[in-house]
């Protein structure tokens, strides 16, 4: 059971590096998918995870544009 969070974090980190997106919509969508997947793995509210992930994805990519392209 202790391996589950470690595997989830590794997967989310990999997805986060690969899924930023070029447009605002792609950034929101990739963030939403990663957020929803993370909360589903940890038995959280998937809808909330998707919203938080979308906002986080857009904020990160808009703030650190050179890291997302």
Measured between alpha carbons, how far is 65 from 51 in angstroms, rounded to an integer? Answer: 21
Which residue is associated with the tokens 């995870």?
49
Is the pLDDT score of 69 beyond 50? yes
Torsion of CA 66, 9, 53, 17, to 10 degrees: 20
pTM over 0.85: no
Q: Mean pLDDT throughout 26-36?
A: 89
Domains in the chain: boundaries: 3-68
Q: Mean pLDDT throughout 29-50?
A: 88
């Amino acid at each position: 059971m202790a391996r589950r969070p470690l595997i989830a974090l590794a997967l989310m980190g990999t997805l986060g590096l690969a899924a930023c997106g070029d447009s605002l919509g792609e950034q929101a969508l990739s963030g939403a998918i990663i957020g929803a997947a993370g909360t589903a793995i940890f038995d959280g509210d998937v809808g909330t995870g998707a919203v938080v992930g979308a906002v986080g994805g857009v904020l990160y990519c808009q703030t650190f544009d050179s890291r997302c392209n």
